[in-house]
Amino acid sequence: MQLNIEDRGELLKRGFSRRSFGRFATVITAGAALPFYNESAMAQLSMIKGPMPADAVKINANENPLGPCPEAADAMYGVIQKGGRYLYEETFGFQETLASQEGLKPSYIQPFAGSSAPLHQAVLAFTSPTKSFVTADPGYEAGERAAKFIGSKVIRVPLTKTYAHDVVAMAKADPNAGLIYVCNPNNPTGTLTSRADLEYLLANKPAGSILLIDEAYIHLSGAPMASDLVAADKDVIILRTFSKLYGMAGLRAGAALGRPDLLSKIMPYSAGALPVTGMVGANVSLKVKDLVPKRRKIIADVREDVFAFLSKNNFKFVPSVSNKFMVDVKRPGGEVIEAMRKQKIYIGRVWSSWPTYVRVSVGTQDEMNKFKSAFLNVMS
């Protein structure tokens, strides 16, 4: 892709050099080909080359093994034969349903194929060599990698002792911050940052900066969502995805919630129709009234069973409210990841700031029973 003269002028104003134009254009056009683009790409860090065994337990990418709900699956199957059309009306239908449920105008909702694209497009829009990207450590690295790729400064702020985002330190991290990223619940720890802390960060962040709240896992926690901050026209963009609780990781549906003027700044880097199966599946999923509480309980019950096992065997872990958790293996995490693979159990990766912790996704009860058995063997 070639940037036009207007784009180049805007980038120069934001502190980018002409030599960075090529990389900037690459981020816009390359999509999933980039190493930082999405959770699938991140998951490659904890996978070996080649196919997994057919009977492998795959609990490394925070996926939901339940898949889409039956209502969504039926709706998606029914629309496949119409897939030769762009069917923009299905995207508009999803947009209107989500807006209605969140108490927002449709213009405050921008649908996407998942939430990776708006995350990276927000980095493109609001960070630069003179406007930093502020994030938690450990935290989801995709936005950080995008920022580094285009030459933006990245500031990592360690989590608090209770594994929440340190909002005081994040607010003070850089007076020229462009984008402050909060994944809530956090990935990889699965822990919450309180509403009061989010409000503090909004009130005390540097002038002109944008707060990006990634609510990919919010449905799993039962915590209140932050869409009312969008309704109040705050300097905030919220990301949502249907890849987690809704079980649509491979089907790609998500949205960004924000003031229209903020959404317009990330939209120049989007083009084309969205996958009609994802849009239809997301729209129908939102209308299944008991889906969220039922799935939240299913996942929580399995998670708490694993926590009871870890506690009984004196393993230290972070008390997650999500569909993944961090466990301290007391030695380089990569060693345990490799040992678990030999038992056909694929767990997540290691964060450099927590080298002895590994991330484990919550699978089905049967999968987690197999995890428990293998983990005891590896750790004994």
Determine the pLDDT at residue 26: 63
The neighbouring-strand residues paired with 241 are: 254
93 vs 100: CA distance, rounded Å: 11
Burial (CB < 10 A; 0-12, 13-18, 19+), residue 176, is: middle
Strand, helix or coil for residue 54: coil
Residue 64 near residue 245 (C-beta atoms within 8 A): yes
Ranges in the chain, pLDDT < 50: 1, 32-33, 35-40, 43-47
Determine the pLDDT at residue 47: 45
| Number of other CB atoms surrounding residue 21 within 10 Å | 17
138 vs 168: CA distance, rounded Å: 17
Determine the pLDDT at residue 52: 83
Beta strand 132-137 with 154-158 is: parallel
Residue 357 near residue 327 (C-beta atoms within 8 A): yes
Q: What is the pTM of this model?
A: 0.91
Determine the pLDDT at residue 7: 61
Q: Which domains does the chain have, with CATH numbers?
A: 39-66+291-379 (3.90.1150.10), 68-286 (3.40.640.10)
CB within 8 Å of 201: residues ≥ 6 apart: 165, 167, 170, 171, 180, 182, 211
Residue among 320, 365, 370, 363 at smallest CA distance from 60: 363
Strand, helix or coil for residue 204: helix
Give the side-chain half-sphere CA count within 13 A for 375: 24
**Alpha carbon distances (Å) from 170 to 173, 200, 280:** 5, 11, 38
Residue among 252, 237, 70, 36 at smallest CA distance from 152: 36
319 vs 89: CA distance, rounded Å: 42
What single-letter amino acid sits at 332? P
225 vs 304: CA distance, rounded Å: 23
Residue 127 near residue 12 (C-beta atoms within 8 A): no
